[in-house]
Amino acid sequence: MVNAHDLLWGMTPAHLPSDAPGWALEAIGAGHPVVVRRAMAEPGQVAVGVRGRLREQRFATAMPLAAVQRSVAPEALRDAISPRDLPALRALDQLRPVLAQQTWGVTGSAGFELATGIEALHAMSDLDLLLRTPAPLDRRDAQDLLAILDTAACAVDLQLQTPFGAVALREWAGGSRRVLLKTARGAHLVLDPWQAVA
């Protein structure tokens, strides 16, 4: 079972479509993992994204599940330590005690770097986190958590993973009645991210 934001190893250049850019072939050829995307895929496949060195280098494709040799979930990276000194990594150090009682993990550039040792972060990078919230999070609690995250060493983008998709903590803590729930079938404006989308 793979989930959005998991890192997967085992994809080869042969799995890429003919229109894949050269940088994607290079990344896969070098043995870099791909990241599971929130999208539908054919049976036996998983929707993934290939990361390049540059922010704009992102390529959406699919990978055969049978090719997966190793997977790393965001939660497996929360205690990973990097020798580098960057705001995103300092923010991670600051927030570990705050989130210690929760089921959470590291995604985005920080997660990729911590999992691979490949430098993906820079001084202006945000810290991307995922918080598993199987039960509803009260909006006041969301506001309190956001206030703590906003004291971190860099901007923090935390996604609340509900049973039906993901919603940005910042949005759930905000004043809008409806929030954007990201699901494998697309994004939907919902009143309650913990309810199935009709």
Enumerate the active-site residues: 126, 128
Report the candidate in 33, 113, 107, 98 with the shortest Cα–Cα distance to residue 75. Answer: 107
Backbone angles phi, psi at 41, to 5 degrees: -140, 160
For residue 142 the two structure tokens come to 């969301």
For residue 92 the two structure tokens come to 């991670």
- Torsion sign over Cα 96, 101, 102, 105: positive
The beta-carbon contacts of 149-153 under 8 Å, at least 24 apart in sequence, are 149/95, 151/94, 152/90, 152/91, 152/94, 152/95, 152/127, 153/87, 153/88, 153/90, 153/91, 153/94
